[in-house]
Amino acid sequence: MKAFSNLLSDLILTSSRNRKLSLLEQYFSSTPDPDRGYALAALTGSLNFKNIKSSFFKDLIKEKQDEHLFDLSYDYVGDLAETISLLWDQEKSGNMPRLSSLFENLKKAKTDELKSYIINILNISTADQRWAFIKLFTGGLRIGVSSRLVKQALANYGNVDLDEIEKIWHGLHFPYINLFSWLENKGSKPKISIYDTFHPMMLAHPLVMEKDLEAANPKDFVAEYKWDGIRVQIVSHSEGCRLYSRTGDEVSKSFPEIIKTIQGNFVLDGELLAGINNDPKTFNDLQQRLNKKAPSEKFIEKNPCFIKVYDVLFFNGDDLRDKTLIERKKVLSSYFSTNRSPMFLSETIEFKDWRFLDKIRDISNKQIHEGVMIKSVSSPYIAGRPRGKWFKWKRNPKNVDAIIMYAQRGHGKRSSFYSDYTFGVFNKEKELVPIGKAYSGFTDEELNRLDKFVRSKTINRFGPVREVEKTLVVEIAFDEMSLSHRHKSGIALRFPRFKRIRWDKPTNEVETLEQIRKSFLE
């Protein structure tokens, strides 16, 4: 645990990618099994504790520290693990257990023993160790290290290709003994079953036309619609079918009618959408389904779903990931030559030049697609986000002016800055109503200025939320506006973010709720 907490403390304060990689490599080489496997799981977010949540630690600290002083401290620090680690006083010295025994003890401990075990750990640890320890339970380490970076460090450590690790990653098991033994040339490459696991997806870069494609030949690319649903991987074999989300979470249970129908021996890549007969409805409609973990038959009948398939990774036991996109598409079109409902082949868009696609991506009357995808015909299926292969070209965002109403402090990198803003517009009754929340789109410099604005113009505080003078107008960019019963304004914005801060614009020039509903919804 000591070495692990040192590692985390060093990582959070290192900004250079190469330094981070070498810190991780050093750790993997100097830490024995199974401890390094536990650390690897923690760093890649695959350690799960069902019986200990972050609220457990909140309750513990509130027994020791005045609740109000805790709230003020948490608000200031913006990181629960760090707040508690600083508030807790070290009471005695003792030996921190190894990472692996710490976990095993926690797993074995009965509910009534758990609390005293954890209190003891907190009592004998230093502030840095407490911080690292609590971080294991608060979901997301927030230390500026992505899973991908950790895998890169593993690749460097074993002198293998990152893609080799990505390909087997989801089939590996905690605490990764066979992985390390392969990386250290002591054992063979771990074998994984194709159908037992999720395979990391290939992702697209946002298109910057001038930079990415202007000089390219349109003939070397295929175009498809960018569907507005959720990306899914369909893993099917003789014993059944599973659906995974982009992050590798299994979502099969929410879609029993789909997994029941699909038959075959393959791993496909596609988009899950609301609707029937290959006729997609909006993302909002899909949202209804996503919210239900175990939908009833009646509910399913009322909210049907289907899948548009655009790629194939494995087919009848063959790994097609190294084939070109064109070859993979051939396999798909022959498979879809018969009806495979509820799966359908995602159509390609015929086009001669980029200008044509530019027009297509903005045709938004039905709002069922968010733009177009442009993929190199020669691209193999590479896990991650390889350069120059796939591009997403989203619809141009829409813009609306709104007035800042409330602000809240951010977390992680932005802790202590007021970086989360609620904004609104006036309704018929001349009352300001919130229409959304935005956290991004401003520069660090603008954030500084916004933060100052919030601090000096606060008129009210509700816990961590500050109400500010309604004087600042911001231009908000968003992808889509839809009707919503959950909000007082009756509308909801998809992915709102700051476009510009209108420091000088008077608030009476902001369009009213009625006006913006008219222009975006009718």
Partner 1 sequence: MISIDNKLYIRDIDTYIDPFFPVERAIITHGHADHARAGHKHVLCTPETSEIMKIRYGENCASSFQTIKYGHSVKIGKISVTFYPAAHILGSAQVLLETAKHRIVVTGDYKTILDRHLDPFEVVPCDLLITEATFGLPIFKFNKPEMEIERLLNNISKNRENTFLIGAYSLGKAQRIIWLLREAGFSDDIFVHGSMDKLCDFYQSKGIRLGTLRKATLDNKKDFKGKIIVAPPSALKDRWSRRFENITRCYASGWMQVKQRAKQSQIEIPLVISDHSDWNELTNTIKQTGAEKVWITHGREDALKYWCEKNGIQAEPLSLQHRDETSEL
Helix 127-135 and helix 111-124, axial crossing angle in degrees, nearest 10 = 140
Kindly state whether residue 17 participates in binding partner 1, applying the rule CB under 8 A: no
Q: Which is nearer to partner 1, 135 or 226 (CB)?
A: 135
Binding of residue 145 to partner 1 (CB under 8 A): no
Using the rule CB under 8 A, give the single segment among 8-16, 186-194, 205-213, 466-474 that binds partner 1. 8-16
Find, among 272, 282, 340, the residue nearest to 305 by Cα: 272
Q: Which tokens is 96 given?
A: 């921190």
Q: Which of 6, 14, 178, 427 lies at the binding interface for partner 1 (CB under 8 A)?
A: 14
The torsion of the CA quartet 176, 180, 182, 186, rounded to 10 degrees, works out to: -120
Q: Which of 33, 69, 220, 260 binds partner 1 (CB under 8 A)?
A: 69
Nearer to partner 1, 233 or 415 (CB): 415
For the bound state, the minimum distance from the C-beta of residue 14 to partner 1, rounded and expressed in Å, comes to 6
Is residue 73 within the footprint of partner 1 (CB under 8 A)? yes
Between CA 121 and CA 118 the distance in angstroms is 5
Question: Could you say which of 412, 471, 483, 488 contacts partner 1 (CB under 8 A)?
Answer: 412
- Rounded-to-integer distance, Cα 124 and Cα 136, Å: 17
Compute the least distance from the CB of residue 89 to partner 1, in Å: 8
Select from 72-80, 106-114, 246-254, 301-309 the region that touches partner 1 (CB under 8 A): 72-80
Site size toward partner 1, by CB under 8 A? 27
- Indicate which single residue of 4, 7, 28, 79 sits in contact with partner 1 (rule: CB under 8 A): 79
**Cβ of residue 10: shortest distance to partner 1, in angstroms?**
9
Applying CB under 8 A, does 415 fall inside the site for partner 1? yes
Question: What SS3 class is residue 319?
Answer: strand
Residue 65 or residue 482: which is nearer to partner 1 going by CB?
Answer: 65
Q: In the numeric block, which tokens belong to residue 206? A: 């946002």
* 87 vs 373 by CB, closer to partner 1: 87
Q: What is the DSSP string of 232-266?
A: EEEEEETTEEEEEETTS-B-GGG-HHHHHH--SSE
Name the token pair of 317: 């036991």
491 φ, ψ to 5°?
A: -130, 160
Q: Which two tokens stand for residue 338?
A: 């018969």
Minimum CB distance to partner 1, residue 13 (Å): 5
Which residues are within 8 A (CB) of 479 and not within 5 positions of it... i.e. 6 or more apart? 370, 394, 395, 397, 398, 493, 494, 495
Residues 185-244 that bind partner 1 (CB under 8 A): none
Stated length of the chain: 522
For residue 135, the minimal CB distance to partner 1 (Å) is 11
Task: Determine if 426 is a binding residue for partner 1 (CB under 8 A).
Answer: no
- Select from 302, 413, 449, 488 the one that contacts partner 1 (CB under 8 A): 413
Q: What is the dihedral of CA 94, 100, 102, 105, to 10 degrees?
A: -130
Nearest to 441 by CA among 465, 420, 466, 471: 420
Which residues between 442 and 501 bind partner 1 (CB under 8 A)?
455
Which secondary-structure segment (H or E) carries 318?
A: strand 318-319
Between CA 377 and CA 223 the distance in angstroms is 10
Applying CB under 8 A, the span of 169-177, 249-257, 367-375, 412-420 interacting with partner 1 comes to 412-420
> According to CB under 8 A, which residues from 294 to 333 bind partner 1?
none
Structure tokens at 119: 């209190």
Nearer to partner 1, 63 or 210 (CB): 63
Residue 91 found at the interface with partner 1 (CB under 8 A): no
We find the least distance from the C-beta atom of residue 76 to partner 1, in angstroms, to be: 6
Interface residue with partner 1 among 47, 52, 86, 290 (CB under 8 A) is 86
Least distance from partner 1 to the Cβ atom of residue 472, Å:
19
φ/ψ region of 252 (left if φ > 0, alpha if ψ in -120 to 50, else beta) reads alpha
CA distances from 487 to 240, 242, 477, 483, 491 (A): 41, 35, 19, 9, 7
The radius of gyration computed from the CA coordinates of the chain, to the nearest angstrom, equals 26
Examine residue 144 and tell whether it contacts partner 1 (CB under 8 A). Answer: yes
Q: Which of 23, 41, 87, 155 binds partner 1 (CB under 8 A)?
A: 87
Tell me the closest approach of the beta carbon of residue 99 to partner 1, in angstroms. Answer: 20
String marking each residue 96-135 x if it binds partner 1 according to CB under 8 A: -----------------------------------x----
In the complex with partner 1, the residue whose CB is nearer, 73 or 245, is 73
Q: Which amino acid is at 293?
A: K
Contacts of 54 (CB under 8 A, 6+ apart): 80, 134, 137, 138, 139
Q: Which is nearer to partner 1, 20 or 361 (CB)?
A: 20
Closest distance of CB 12 from partner 1, Å: 6
Q: Give me the residues that bind partner 1 (CB under 8 A), please.
A: 9, 12-15, 65-66, 68-69, 72-73, 76-79, 82-83, 86-87, 131, 144, 412-416, 455
